[in-house]
Chains A and B, each alone.
Chain A
Amino acid sequence: MATAMTRPVAVRSESNTLRSFELRLRTYLAERLHVTTRFAPLGGTRAFLVSPADRERTKGLVIDERMTAAERVYLYVHVAAHIALGHNIPMITIVEAEATEPADEMKHELAERLARSMWWRGSDAEVGGSLPAVRTSRLLRSLVSWRPTRALLRWALVAMRSAYYRTGVVRALERSRATAWLAQALCVAAVVSAAPQLVSAREG
């Protein structure tokens, strides 16, 4: 291929939980939905999914390399929703951009709704079971549902994580349930901050 494959750049502020969740979802797309993913500079386009004429062959998802792990997590769920809805018609490319073409609005809206449901209810073990501690927490869901509390929660979690690492408490508590919960809460807060439409259509 003309362009060398690139890997997403690890951002220091992105948590390991978030990055490993992103990798798990990417693997899920490859293994279960036969979508290969690569990263490239796409200018103003976020991503596109190219579907081959032959349904047996893998689909190609190209993602703008500037997207964060949280944005990519949302994109994977959204793409999985498009595929679940059968939008990946052979030789029809689905483009994810800032502005949606009027002709595609309905399709993206349906995928958005399904993505929201997949994210919170978990239609699949990989999407639903990867963040078990927070998926069932009503408290967390209500905190991330409202923009001010979401921002506050995220700030508090980042500060706690930073204190954990700075003080060395992380070594003592790294296997505790509370630490796992907080790490997953930070992951969810990051994804919902990147894609507020996951909590409310109005916010998106």
Chain B
Amino acid sequence: MRIQDAERVSRAVQTLRGRRSLDGLVDRLFDITEGSLALDRATLHRIARGQTRVARAIDTPEDCIRLYFALMIVGCEEDVPLASVVEEGHAVLTGFVGEPLAALIFRDLSATLPKLRDRVALKEYLEEGLRIWLPR
């Protein structure tokens, strides 16, 4: 998949990973996505540093959506402020799939967010969102 705005995606990944190392982030993403994201360490390092526009392991829009949910879950776990989790998650998705598809996926989060009371509920929502996008 070709990243449309590598610099913005890099900033978003750096924000969402919180205090985690990039290696720790890869491990956590692998764990959260039940191994369905074959994102290797070297590629993630390059994405996080804004050094590449090509993420070969992220081949399909479904992969991008899983990465979007997984990174936001990490953001919640790292106590990143909720507004940043949402904003940076949107930036990751837009960077990968472009605004039209990102807006479609993001619409549900935008509508649901005001109804969720706290971080715990948001994290559960993100986990359920990820679950329905996991390969069958």
Check if A1 is an interface residue, CB within 8 A of chain B. yes
Cβ-defined contact, B108 with A93, below 8 A = yes
Interface of A is mostly: loop
Check if B42 is an interface residue, CB within 8 A of chain A. no
Q: What class of interface size applies to chain B in its complex with A?
A: 20 to 34
Knowing A1-B131, A50-B128, A57-B132 are in contact, say whether A45-B117 is a contact too (CB < 8 A).
yes
Whole-angstrom distance between the Cβ of B84 and the nearest chain A Cβ? 19
A52 and B136 alpha carbons, distance in the complex (Å): 12
A44 and B128 alpha carbons, distance in the complex (Å): 17
Cβ-defined contact, B121 with A43, below 8 A = yes
Knowing A50-B128, A57-B132 are in contact, say whether A1-B121 is a contact too (CB < 8 A).
no
Cβ-defined contact, B34 with A1, below 8 A = yes
Check if A41 is an interface residue, CB within 8 A of chain B. yes
Cβ-defined contact, A42 with B124, below 8 A = yes
Q: Could you say which residues of chain B place their CB within 8 Å of the CB of A43?
A: 116-118, 120-121
Q: Could you say which residues of chain B place their CB within 8 Å of the CB of A50?
A: 125, 128-129, 132
Residue from B32, B115, B129 with most neighbouring chain A CB atoms (10 Å) = B115
A30 and B44 alpha carbons, distance in the complex (Å): 38
Q: Could you say which residues of chain A place their CB within 8 Å of the CB of B125?
A: 48, 50, 62, 93
Interface positions, chain B 106-135, Cβ under 8 Å from A, are 107-108, 111-112, 114-118, 120-121, 123-125, 127-133
Interface size on A, residues (CB 8 A): 25
Interface of B is mostly: helix
Knowing A1-B32, A2-B127 are in contact, say whether A101-B121 is a contact too (CB < 8 A).
no
Q: Which residue of chain B has its CB nearest to the CB of A91?
A: B108
Q: Which residue of chain A has its CB nearest to the CB of B107?
A: A91
Check if A60 is an interface residue, CB within 8 A of chain B. yes
Q: Could you say which residues of chain B place their CB within 8 Å of the CB of A101?
A: 114-115
Cβ-defined contact, A95 with B31, below 8 A = no
Cβ-defined contact, B104 with A60, below 8 A = no
A97 and B112 alpha carbons, distance in the complex (Å): 11
Check if A40 is an interface residue, CB within 8 A of chain B. yes
A97 and B117 alpha carbons, distance in the complex (Å): 9
Cβ-defined contact, B132 with A52, below 8 A = yes
Q: Could you say which residues of chain B place their CB within 8 Å of the CB of A3?
A: 123-124, 127
Q: Could you say which residues of chain A place their CB within 8 Å of the CB of B131?
A: 1, 60
Whole-angstrom distance between the Cβ of B61 and the nearest chain A Cβ? 10
Q: Which residue of chain B has its CB nearest to the CB of A103?
A: B111
A52 and B134 alpha carbons, distance in the complex (Å): 11
Check if A152 is an interface residue, CB within 8 A of chain B. no
Q: Which residue of chain A has its CB nearest to the CB of B62?
A: A53
Can you pick out 18 interface pairs between chain A and chain B where the beta carbons lie within 8 Å of each other?
A: A1-B131, A2-B77, A2-B123, A40-B124, A42-B121, A42-B124, A43-B117, A43-B120, A45-B116, A48-B116, A48-B125, A57-B132, A57-B136, A60-B131, A91-B104, A93-B108, A93-B125, A101-B115
The 4 closest A-B pairs by CB, nearest first: A44-B117, A52-B132, A95-B115, A43-B118
